[in-house]
Every structure is written in structure tokens, then in C-alpha cells.
Structure 1
């Protein structure tokens, strides 16, 4: 059966030589949803050793066969690993001890039982971390000073002071959870990408105004946000994505972003076409992706701002 996504290779025991040969042909992720045999783990590890850029992912475990990460003893040179969508079966992550100290990228998904993330403390070269729902010993993040990209999903922090030591941080995603206090945001790394998605109770975005290095701002489904931050000091900002931001009606702060090139208004049917009038004549804006709920409204926006409707929305600092 052909793969639906040539970048992802699903394997299961017995792992075939055909599968192993595919690694290195554009595959970015090798994944399995049931425990493999020890023989297949070893064969897979040997193939991945020659391609350290490829991520290994354990997920699903719909048969309950993946209960821990001890299989990582067969992958002593693995640099990129994900364990997610294992909510019901994964009971500990102590098997991370088998990974080398210089791991670059880790994803640990949500589990029914809260697991300690203390084992992360020895990964001093970690550049990318994605955590979902794991809050036990969460302060270990402060020790990971090489992080460039951090995603916290379904995790509530009282504030962001814990992230002060992360001087190399370039991308921060806060998804779900209830971290309402962003006052320390300007003291976190040198952020180029900021994503805030469905953060419960978040209403004040004013600290974003002091992110001098910010290139890309992504805001989605923040129900209590009714005002954009001042943008005149955001001299590096070139891309803004606003999606399902039902409380926003005034887009005029975007007019003051001196280098804004691309703007997306996605699933924003509450806006009238006239909402974009403050952007008429913006000196650098070249792209506007309008999603105001109807072709009539989108066409009216295009008449007011006859700009390209698509552009390069790739995110920076993505591993």
C-alpha cells in the first residue's frame, strides 16, 4: 500500500528490508504504534544511526503494548524522539535514560497518569521540546538552556519567569492551558515566533509589544482578547496570523508594524470588510489572506486592499 505521506514511514514487526531502505529517501519520521520485537528495534536503530536527522516516534499503542520507553536501550545514538498519543498505555518515561546526553529534540505527550519530566535534566544540548499535559517537576525546563523551540500544550504556568534562563529560545508555543500572565515574556530568550492558541483566560497581550526580535505572531481562539498590542516597536515583525479571534474588531495596531509583509485573517466572520481600511497604504504589506466568512466579504476586502492572497507562512526555528 502506498504511503499517504512520503515523509512518514510506519513500521510494524516484522520490519521488512524494503521499509529499512526507505529511510534516507526523504523520510523524516519513522513511527510505530505497537511494540516491536527486540530484533526489529535493533535493525531499526542501525538504520537510524546512518540518518540522525530522522525522528523516531512511538504512538497509539491501541493494543496496550507500549507501556514504557525501555525499548530505547536499543537506540543509544538516537537524536530525535517522540512519544505521544499514548494516553492510556504509557506509565513512565524512565527509559529516556538510554538516550545519549546530546539528544536534540524530544516530544512527550499527555498521559492518564502525570509523569515526572525530571529525566529531561541531563539533555543539555536539547534544542526542541514539546510537552503536553506533563507538569510534574516542570521546573526542569529552566535547566535546558540550549532550547531554541518550546511548546507547552495543556500546561498552565503561573507566569513565565521559569523560562528566563532560556537565552537561546527563538520559538514559543502556548497551546491550551491557562497561562494568563505574559508580563515576563520580554525577558524570555530572543523570540522570533510566538504562538498563543486557546489559552484559557488570557486577555492581555500588551507584553508582546516589547518583543523586539519577533518576526511571526500567531494568535488563535483567544476568546477574551479584544485588543491587539501596540506594534510600532515591533521592528522585526513581518507576519501576523489571526484565526478565530472573535473579540477583535480593531485592526489599526497592525498599521503601525513598520515591516509587516503578510497578514492572515482566518475564520473571522464577525469582521466587516471595512475593518481592513486602516491598512490601506501600508508601505510594506504585500500579502493578505482574508477569511471573513463569505466570498462577498472577501472580495470586498480584495477591492480595498488588492494584494496577493498567499505567501510563505513557514515558521522559523522549527526542527
Structure 2
């Protein structure tokens, strides 16, 4: 989600920083690659109106409120000036944000929403009216989280620093294509195969998670991303995952046997990053995979990485990107 990757304090082609008073330079035409316009302190009412008119030219761009280092962003009532905004994120507002009731000013047809963690636990009930929502990012917000079950148009969902007893709240999301579980302690993945038609799954630093066996039933999965799962010591059998093409393994210190990857019939790309505990031979077994086209080794030294390349005999993967499903409107 945007909260994890946005730079602060300067503009990049992908981001436009604004503040009051608005200037002509701030409102110059956006680079076509720009995905976010953001501000870190409350604007004047006049500037909100001007910003609303200007950003209306860019319906694919997300408006982001963040930071509030001066404590000026305490609620989202400024959204009354944005009745046509379809993409909005409010994050890194831990100390200042006291209410999200202002979401009621957004159109029910909004397609992307992001809410970061706050010191005060906020009810997620205002999300219930966004029945056409396609992408949702939540961090640390668990009060009334059952409302997610009503968001049946969701295609992409990220839950960060959120612990669920199981995944039953996600079962109604029949159209879900991408699921990210980051941090938190959601250990029970038993219901994972009953959720949507997942193309992409990311599990990152999920505390206490050790059993990945439900992944073996995700027949629509094409991209699997696993990072920093300390208690995972075994990969599942991938033989039923006939669409799985990419596996990214990063800082998976408990893994020593990569041979289950050989069971994935369509596997084309494998990344093994920050895995210095492995010997080149442990990755070299992937040379036996008939469909493999790229291996990106990260075993802690150039010597070991070069040994992997020679053993596997396929090019290193460069410039990998996550699938298009994560860019849904």
C-alpha cells in the first residue's frame, strides 16, 4: 500500500507533495506515473476546494493525508470538499487522528481506501457503505473489523499489524484476488482456500505462523511472496498449483529444503533473498525444474550467488514486479 513506499519531504515522479498555501508549481500537470498526491498538515478551506477541482482531472490518483506532525489532521471532515474522490488514504496519523466519520463524504462508489494505525481505536463501521470498494489497506484497526465481510467487491486486501483468530471474516470476499498479511499474529490459515480466487498471496513477519499447508490448495495462485516467517521450516507440496509461476522467499531462516518447489509444474521465477544460511547446493537442486527460467539468488556473498547461477544454469531475475492485480481500481 502507498503508506509503505511513499517518500516524505520531496517530490518524485510517483508522488506530488502539497501544502497551504498552494502554489502554481504544486498544481502543475502530474507526471503520468504519479499515483499519489499527499499533504502532511491540514490545508485551508480555500485550498481544499482548489485541490478538489484540480485532482478531479486525475481520477486514477490517490489523495493521501499523512503525518500531521503539527496535530492539525484530527478527523477526515475535510473530505466534504471531495465528493467525487474515489481513492483516498489516511495513514501515519497515529497520534492525531481521532475519527474517520468523514469518510461519509466520499462517494459510495470509492474504489480504494487506506487507513493506518492510530492510538485511539476507531470503529471501521464507516467502511460498510463502500460496497464497490476494490482495494483496501488496514493497519492496526480491528474495532468492528467484521464489516470487511460486507465489502464483497474487494479484489485486493492488505491487513497489517492485525491479528485474526481465523480467516472466516474474509470468506464472503468471493472476488478477492490479492491478499497481504503483514505483521500481526494470524496463525490459522485453514480457511485460506475458501477465500476468493487468489492470484497473489503475501505473508510477511506474521508472528507465530508455522503451518503453510493450506497454500497447497490455492489452485488459482500465480505469485507467492513469503518473508521473515521465523517458525516456518517446511514448504508445502505445490503440485496442485498449476498456475503458480513466481515464488519470492526472503529471510526465511527456517527453510533448508527447497525441493518442494520442484513440485510446482508451471514455476518460472524463484527469488531466494537474504538466505545466507543456505549453501549453493540447496538452491542448485532447482536445476531439475524443467520450466524454470529465472533464479534470483541472495545467499550473502557474490561467491555463493555465482555458484547458484552456475548450478541452476538459468539467468538471474532482474526487475521483478508484483502482478497487475495489485493495481486494481
**Aligned position for 2:220:** 213
Aligned to 2:290: 283
In the aligned structure 2, how far is the partner of 1:120 from the partner of 1:174? 19
Give 2:20's aligned residue: 13
- Counterpart selection for 2:125 from 114, 118, 122: 118
**Number of the residue aligned with 1:176:** 183
Q: CA shift at 1:25, angstroms? A: 4.5
TM-score (norm 2): 0.94
The alignment partner of 1:152 has SS state of: strand
1:202 aligned residue: 209
TM-superposition CA deviations, 1:146-178 (whole Å, max 9, x none): 000000000000001111110100000000000
Equivalent in the alignment of 1:143? 150
- Gaps in structure 1 of 5+ consecutive residues: none
**What is the CA-CA distance between 1:306 and the residue it aligns to?**
2.1
Paired residues for 1:18-29 under 5 Å: 18-23=25-30, 25-29=32-36
Instruction: Decide whether the 8 Å contact of 1:59 with 1:83 is kept in 2.
Output: yes
Unaligned runs of 5+ in 2: 1-8
Deviation at 1:298, TM superposition (A): 0.8
TM-score, normalising length: structure 1 = 0.97
1:128–1:149: 8 Å Cα contact kept in structure 2?
A: yes
1:107 maps to 2:94: no
C-alpha RMSD over aligned residues? 1.2
* Large movers: runs of 4+ above 6 Å: none
Once the two structures are TM-superposed, the CA of residue 308 in structure 1 deviates from its matched residue by 1.3
> Structure 1 CA distance, aligned partners of 2:80 and 2:294?
49
- CA separation in 1, counterparts of 2:314 and 2:121? 48
1:81 corresponds to 2:88: yes
Partner of 1:40: 47
Equivalent of residue 62 in structure 1, options 50, 60, 69:
69
Q: How many residues align?
A: 318
Q: Which residue of 2 aligns with 1:268?
A: 275
Report whether the alignment pairs 1:318 with 2:311: no
Cα contact 1:196–1:218 (8 A) shared by 2: yes
In 2, Cα distance between equivalents of 1:40 and 1:24? 21
1:155 matched residue in structure 2: 162
8 Å CA contact retained: 1:262, 1:311: no
